[in-house]
Structure formats: C-alpha cells, structure tokens
A and B are shown apart, each in its own frame.
Chain A
Amino acid sequence: MNERPNIVFINTDQHSWDAISAYGNPYLHTPNIDELHRNGTSFRQSYCTDPVCAAARSSWATGLYTSETGVPFNGGHLHPDIPDIGQVLRADRYRPFHCGKWHVPGRNVRESFQTLYYGQRSIGAGGAAYYDSATTHAVADFLTNYDGDQPFYLQIGYVDPHDVCEYLHNHEEKQIPNPVEHGIVSEDDLPPLPENFDYDERETVLHRVCRRVEDALIHAPILKAVQHWDELQWRYLIWNYYRFVEKVDAEIGRVMALLRETSQHHRTLIIFTADHGEACGSHRMFQKFTLYEESVQVPFIVACLGDGIPIEKDRVDETHFISGVDVFPTICDYAGIDTPEMLQGISVRPLVEGRDVQWRDSAYIESNYWGRAIVTEHYKYVTEYKPKIVEDFLPPGPDAEQFGLAQLFDRQNDPAETENLVTDPAYSEIVKVSQDKLLAQEAKLHRQEIVHPHPKRVISNWGERLRAYWQHNR
C-alpha cells in the first residue's frame, strides 16, 4: 500500500513463546492469537532484551538495550535524553496513542502519547483483573469513534498473564491446599511438569543470589513458599498460568473484531509480542528474572487482518533472531519515518515481506544489571559480570576479565537447557567463540552512567550482596 498504515502494537506481559495453542500447546486455548498467527508471520527465535517488565519495555520504547536505557531492572529510570517512540512519531505527524500498561519508569506516558486509558490509579506492574477489560473498552471507544483521516499508532499494553504473580504472592502468607485433593481439578486436567523441572545447579552467582538462596534478592517469600510444593501444586501453577493467557487472548480477540468491523483491518499493521516469559516450573523456577528460555523467549507476530499490507501469512520464521529492540525500528519503517541514531534494533519488515536481507546471527540479552546471554543457532552462552570493587554505576562490559561463572547449553541437543557444558573441555572453543561474540555485541552499546538515586541504591545493595557471596563461596 502507498499510504502510511495504522500501526497497532499489542503487548502482553509475562507471556512465554510456547503459551499459544497455534504453536502446539494442547493445555490452553488461544483462538485469537492463533488467528493473528494465521494472518501474519511468527518468529520462533524471538527474545526479550531483559526478562523483567520495566527493562524490556524500556527497549520497546527506545530501540536500545537495557544497559543503555537506564532501566536494567524494574526500579530503573529512563535516561532523559533518550527519545521514545511516542516522541519520534509525534515529531513526524503520526498520532501516537497509548492504552494500558506502560511501565517505563522515568518517562511520563501522558507526555509522550495521548493516553486512551491508564487507570484511575495509574497502572504499575500488575492488575490485569481490573485494567485489561478497561483497556479493551478504551480501545473499543477509540476505534468506534476514529475519524479515519490520519493514520494512527496505537500501543495496547495488556497486563495478563502477569497476574500469575498474584497467584504466587498469594502463597507467601498462607497455606493453600492441594487442588486435586480438594476436588477442584482432577490430576488429568493439569499439564505435566516441564521436562526440565530438575536442573543443573551449576548456575551463575548472580542467579543464585537473585533467585536461589534463602534470602534471595528477588521474591524470597515466594521462593520459601514453593519449596514446600508437591508436584501437583507446581502443575496447578501452570494450569492457572494458562487460564491467565486465555483471559488476555479473549481481550485481544475483541480488539481484532473491532478492527474488522470498523473496516480498519486492511490498513492496520499489528505487531504482537510480550515483554518476557514465565518460568512456570522449568528449572524449578517461577516468574522471570532468569536467562533460561522460558523466561526470555517471547511470541513475536507481525500481521494484518486484511490484504492491504504485504505480509507472508501463516508462516513461522524459524531462523531469524528477533529482539525487543526491533519493535521501535519496525514501527518507524512502516510509518515511513527515520529512526534516531545509535538505535540497536533492525526493522523486521523485510522478513515479514519474505525478502532476503542481511541479519544478525544471534540474540543478545541482559538480566539483573550484571547478567548477559548470547543465543546462537546452536548454543546459548550465559555469563555474569562480577560486581566492581568500587561501583561507578556504569553498566558493566565489555570486559572478559570481569566475567564470573557461566553456562553453556547445546540448543540443538538440549533445548530444555538441562546440562551446563561450560566446564567440559570439549566445548572450550565454543565457549571462546561465544564470549567473543558477546563482547563484540557489547562493544556496540552506548552505555550511560546510571545517575538516578533509586537504581543507584539497588545496584549498591545488590552489588554488596554479590561481593559477599563471591568472597564466602569461592
């Protein structure tokens, strides 16, 4: 099409790649995302930039990695000099609208976008039960009243399936009986335990201190609660998680129906993805904050419900590595506007149009400020930076001298990431190549010192705990 399209960016929260029925998961029903998939190109190798809400969302908003944005964890603060997608679109006469969850600390969504709905109490991390249906109402109000003269950009931030966190927090303070013994569900209703429920304990120090030790930095009370769970309780977590996914699928279906009935579907590009995944018992883990696949691999679909935008439909791209930083340049590409300098992402438009282009051969991911991963076709290499002796608040890297512990997984033969090969001499060359690739990627980043006091406090406190662990557990 010659004219500029409408662009609708639909995002869900904590939605793992495989929690979609069209991709073969028999334990949930997502007819609407399935339809989106049939009307577009899905990317199999799609990764978030950082498996936690605010960090990943700062990448969507800016096209940068999280050590560049100032938001390397939920308590970060977006550097004020970095333009966001709303500002860039508005400067070029596109009308940017926002509806639902934003969660990019340091940037007022109401200043960068016209907000259709952002809650009476502004939407924070969770609250899908209240905010998601209202978000759909606001989108319905917008679409049924849109005059249609100018193309619009609308980003719709659904909170679910993030409310699975409420399910988990609920276990912190009270004893909830086994649902099968209570007759609420039968064992046959429950999905099986993931094949990687048992895991290789040779993990990074960062991961242990953040997620494994008794006084873990992140959600220790939940960790304490789940240690008492039996197999059925883990499986009931997964069962519940899938109901949250179904809930948000229904909301997305309403938006799709409205696009069709308001005749916007032919000229509307839909980008669908999630900020990060959900561990759901894999590696005996819950929520996100890890560099395992369940936490970092997310759906990514580019679709059009009509025939006005050339897209290869009903196709899964198995080979190209997609990152959360690609959302920004893809929007700009379809909007026909230039991207800011120093952007890390690439527009996926050529890929969805079936054109051959030069593309990256890996995905780069950060986590919890010090964690790093590089994913290639055959291997995933995970490592960490040791905390600096004197913290300067410049996100670490590239510096091989400061690498801590590491993991190497053979993605072809061990996709569930059950065996850490990093100390196996047979893989020493693979480790070296992976490190070089990671360092080369990091050399392209434009880090800035973290200056906001809140994230500085987090880095100081976490760094202290990490240093103590290194000292006492050599």
Chain B
Amino acid sequence: MKTNNRHHWSFDYNHGAQNPQFTQELIGTLRGCYTNTDTHGRQAAQTVKHVYNILPNYWRGYAGGDTKKELRIGETTVERTKNGSLWNYTVEYENTTSGEHLQMQFCCHDDNYRSLIDNWRVTVRNSGNDKYSELTSEGHLTRDSEVRLRINGTEIAGGVVDKSTKMTCNWALFDVIPALTQTVQASGSGIDIVLLEDLEQLRPKSKIGFLESIQTPMPLDGYYVYGVGLLPSYWWLDADGNIAIASTFFETLVLREKIEGST
C-alpha cells in the first residue's frame, strides 16, 4: 500500500489499468478547462452548460485490461436554463463501456435544493450488439408524493418520497452543492435529501456533508453524498461555484468545458 497519495484519495486512481494515465488525463482536462474557459460569474448566467469527461476508476478488466490510447470512456453534459422561477435541465450521459446513451430532461424550482417538478423524461439508446436498443421513461410525482414512472408506456410505482425531505435529481447536485455550501458546512453531520438517481431510482435517506478543502491540484472544497442504495461519492467545488471533479467509486467526472449564455 502506498503511504503517500498523489492526489486526494477520493479521486486518486492512478493505478491498475489506468497507470499512469489517470492523473495526466485528470490534470490535463482541468488545465484545459481552466485555461480556455471563463469559469467565473456562474450566478448571473441564465443558461449554464458544463461538459465533463468520464474517467474510469475501476481496477482492471472492464475497459479491456490494457493501457488505452485514450482513457476517457465517455462524456456528460449538464445544461440548465432559467425560465422564470424554474430551471430546465438537459443531461446527456454517454458511456462506451455500458453502451448506453442517456438523455435526461427535468425541471426544478429555483431553490437551493433544486426541488424536482413534474414531468421528467429519460430517453436511452443502447449501442451494444443486442436486442435492446432504446427505452423511454417518463415520470411524475403524485399528490401523495409517490414517484410514478411510465416505461415504454407501462406505468409502474417508483417509491414514495418522505414529504419532510426535499427531493431532487442527482444531476442537479451540480447546482445544489454550490447553493448549500454554508448550510452543509454549518450542519456538522450533513443535511438530508432524497435523490432520484438518473430520474429512475429513488435513494431515500441520502446525505450531503462537507469533507475538507484541498489546494492540490487546485483550491477545491470537497463534499460527500451517500444514501440507501447509494455508495459514497465525492464532489469537489472550485472557488467560483463549479463542480470541478465528481468521483464515485467507479468513475470520475472531470470538468472539461463550461459554456454560459444569457438566453
């Protein structure tokens, strides 16, 4: 076991099949982003789009085992546009290991929790060479706070939300964490939230907490998120309120580009 991590343990995956590319890719991606993109002033923008590279954290095997020319295994785009007192989100997630390309569209209140509003929609395409090629899931909340999902037209129950806890989508955490920094840090043990992961799986009893601040590879504040059925993930916020790195146990999203607009 190494005793000196090169970077914070939550996103130090410069080992296994990735060696030595992970750090190069992570730092290179961040450097490109922060050199070429104006990451300041996010609060004023009416449209914000973040593009993330997906780097694999896993030990070996699932990407073929060998060092690859390009470590990146996909891309995520989180775009939100303010519309009055609401935010409209479009998230694209493409992963060349699973073969799935998800497009998620949802709407949130303009509050710190980005509370999820009816109706949301997920469109999935599969690039794998099998029978399954696409799927559509539409969801809504009933008056009794039950999540209902209509998958290819068949409606199923998706769980009941505890009314005392705010519910949002995990992809809105890119805005929830920056908005709640003071609340989370003041809370000590973290704040409660319900997440609807990928607009499909309800993760009750989830928690956002403050981890620590670091200076390498750049000044970042770290937060953790976990819940029932939700393994801990780590979210690193830059000084201007952008999530620069988001790392689950399996993949690391690294900010590649930020685009802002006023429309």
Contacts and interface: CB of A to CB of B under 8 A. Distances in A.
Interface of A: 29, 97, 99, 110, 114-121, 124-127, 129-131, 133-134, 137-138, 140-145, 163, 165-167, 169-177, 182-184, 186, 224-225, 228, 240, 243-244, 246-247, 249-251, 254, 257-258, 260-262
A250 B198 CA distance: 13
23 contacts: A119-B98, A124-B61, A127-B97, A127-B98, A131-B98, A133-B201, A134-B98, A137-B100, A138-B132, A141-B133, A141-B135, A163-B249, A163-B250, A166-B57, A172-B59, A173-B15, A182-B212, A224-B1, A225-B1, A228-B1, A243-B230, A251-B201, A261-B156
B249 A134 contact: no
Given A117-B126, A119-B98, A175 B229 contact: no
B209 interface: yes
B159 to A, nearest CB: 8
Contacts of A249: 229
B59 A166 contact: yes
Contacts of B231: 240, 243-244, 247
A127 B156 contact: no
B229 A243 contact: yes
Contacts of A170: 57, 59, 249
B248 interface: yes
Contacts of B132: 99, 116-117, 134, 137-138, 141-142
Interface of B: 1-5, 9, 12, 14-16, 57-64, 95-100, 124, 126-135, 137, 151-157, 189, 198, 200-202, 209-212, 224, 226, 228-232, 248-251
Given A169-B59, A170-B249, A257 B156 contact: yes
Given A134-B126, A250-B201, 16 more contacts: A117-B131, A118-B129, A119-B128, A120-B127, A121-B62, A129-B248, A130-B95, A133-B201, A138-B126, A138-B132, A166-B58, A173-B14, A174-B9, A175-B1, A175-B9, A182-B212
Contact of A183 (B1, B15, B153, B189): B189
A172 B15 contact: yes
Contacts of B63: 121
A166 B250 CA distance: 8
B126 to A, nearest CB: 7
B152 to A, nearest CB: 4
A298 B1 CA distance: 32
B156 A184 contact: no
A228 B3 CA distance: 11
A167 B61 contact: no
Contact of A247 (B135, B209, B229): B229
Nearest to B224: A184
A171 B1 contact: yes
B211 A250 contact: no
A115 B133 CA distance: 12
Select the residue from A117, A130, A251 with max chain B CB neighbours within 10 A: A130
A176 B9 contact: yes
Contacts of B5: 174-175
**5 smallest beta-carbon distances between A and B, as pairs:** A120-B99, A138-B132, A173-B15, A246-B229, A129-B250
A138 B156 contact: no
B246 to A, nearest CB: 13
Contacts of B130: 110, 115-118, 138
Contacts of A99: 132
Contacts of B200: 133, 254
Nearest to B9: A176
B95 A175 contact: no
Contact of A126 (B61, B137, B157, B189): B61
Given A137-B126, A243-B231, A261 B249 contact: no
Nearest to A131: B98
A285 B155 CA distance: 44
A7 B212 CA distance: 50
Contact of A119 (B14, B59, B97, B249): B97
A127 B137 CA distance: 23
A150 B211 CA distance: 54
A247 B55 CA distance: 22
Q: Which of B1, B5, B97 has the most CB of A within 10 A?
A: B1
Contact of B2 (A115, A137, A169, A173): A173
A250 B1 contact: no
A166 B249 contact: yes
A185 to B, nearest CB: 8
A431 to B, nearest CB: 40
A167 B12 CA distance: 13
A117 B61 CA distance: 19
A175 B126 CA distance: 37
A258 B156 contact: yes
Nearest to A168: B59
Contact of B232 (A134, A140, A143, A184): A184
A88 B129 CA distance: 24
Given A126-B58, A167-B249, A173-B15, A121 B152 contact: no
A176 B12 CA distance: 10
B75 to A, nearest CB: 14
A174 B15 contact: yes
B47 to A, nearest CB: 29
Contacts of A246: 228-229
A405 B231 CA distance: 40
Contacts of A240: 231-232
A322 to B, nearest CB: 28
Contact of A120 (B16, B96, B135, B137): B96
B209 A184 contact: yes
Contact of A254 (B16, B124, B156): B156
A173 to B, nearest CB: 4
Nearest to B62: A127
Contacts of A129: 248-251
